[in-house]
Amino acid sequence: MEREEKERYILDMEISDREKQERYEAMKKIRDEVINLKESPLYISRVKPVIGEGSHFSKIIFIGEAPGKNEAETGRPFCGAAGKVLDELLESAGIKRDEIYITNIVKDRPPNNRDPLPEEIKLYAPFLDRQVEIIRPEVIATLGRYSMVYIMERYGLSEMVEPISKARGKIYETSMPYGIVKIVPLYHPAVAVYNRTMIKILKEDFKVLRELI
Ligand code: URA
């Protein structure tokens, strides 16, 4: 390697290491803030908060609703029955789980797996917004109606919100400070836990992602 080229290479390495460190620190700050979120109504029943998992440099971020029992026990998103379906869907689309980032809108488990309440979404969503800002994904895949509605409203697509049965697998575009981002609403993987025949539809929808990343 020529000296100049070598220096450039070293500089690039340094920049990317610095970037890695910055993203790591920003995510750690979010983790610490969620851990200390004692004003949350979900704090009293918390086992572990579930912040998110995966690559801070992922081109795609998957957003679910809220942790379930297994997730709250382990602190990892989508590690229970719905997570198994998600793994199957990712595999069918040729997407590696460790190359993506997975999180939820609400970071603590609602009791008895009830749906998240509007005030809970309001309280936790700013953490999700920051995770999106840190990762700067090209694609946001929403899992289920709650994250679809939140993300579409958050990024200026309120008027295009429709029932998830119509929106699933469609590609919506929004403009972020760093560029165009594609939003792809998907059914929540849990639908295939309750109705196995849905797996075919989910796999079809997941194929769309493969073409985008
Ligand atoms: N359902 C979700 O929405 N998120 C999880 O992490 C697990 C189940």
pLDDT of residue 7: 67
Instruction: Please answer whether residues 135 and 209 qualify as being in contact, where contact means their C-beta atoms are separated by less than 8 angstroms.
Output: no
CB atoms within 10 A of CB 66: 26
CB 104 near ligand 1, within 6 Å: yes
Q: Which atom of ligand 1 is nearest to the CA of 102?
A: 6
Please report the beta strands in the chain, taking only residues with DSSP state E, as ranges in sequence order: 53-54, 60-64, 101-104, 139-143, 172-176, 179-186
Packing angle of the helix pair 81-92, 199-212 (nearest 10 deg): 50
Nearest-angstrom CA–CA distance, 170 and 172: 7
Nearest-angstrom CA–CA distance, 133 and 75: 22
CB 189 near ligand 1, within 6 Å: no
- Residue 110 CA to ligand 1 center (angstroms) comes to 11
Distance of CA 74 to the CA centre of its chain: 17
- Residue 44 CA to ligand 1 center (angstroms) comes to 19
User: Tokens at residue 101, please?
Assistant: 């980032």
The model carries a pTM of: 0.93
CB 103 near ligand 1, within 6 Å: no
Q: Which atom of ligand 1 is nearest to the CA of 144?
A: 3
Distance of CA 182 to the CA centre of its chain: 13
DSSP conformation letters of 91-104: HHTT--GGGSEEEE
- Residue 65 CA to ligand 1 center (angstroms) comes to 6
- Residue 206 CA to ligand 1 center (angstroms) comes to 17
Q: Which domains does the chain have, with CATH numbers?
A: 3-212 (3.40.470.10)
Q: Checking DSSP bridges between strand 101-104 and strand 53-54, what pairing results, if any?
A: antiparallel
- Residue 11 CA to ligand 1 center (angstroms) comes to 40
One pLDDT digit (tens) per residue for the chain, 213 residues: 566 666 666 666 666 888 999 999 999 999 999 999 999 999 999 999 999 999 999 999 999 999 999 999 999 999 999 999 999 999 999 999 999 999 999 999 999 989 999 999 999 999 999 999 999 999 999 999 999 999 999 999 999 999 999 999 999 999 999 999 999 999 999 999 999 999 999 999 999 999 898
CB 108 near ligand 1, within 6 Å: no
- Amino acid residing at 134: I
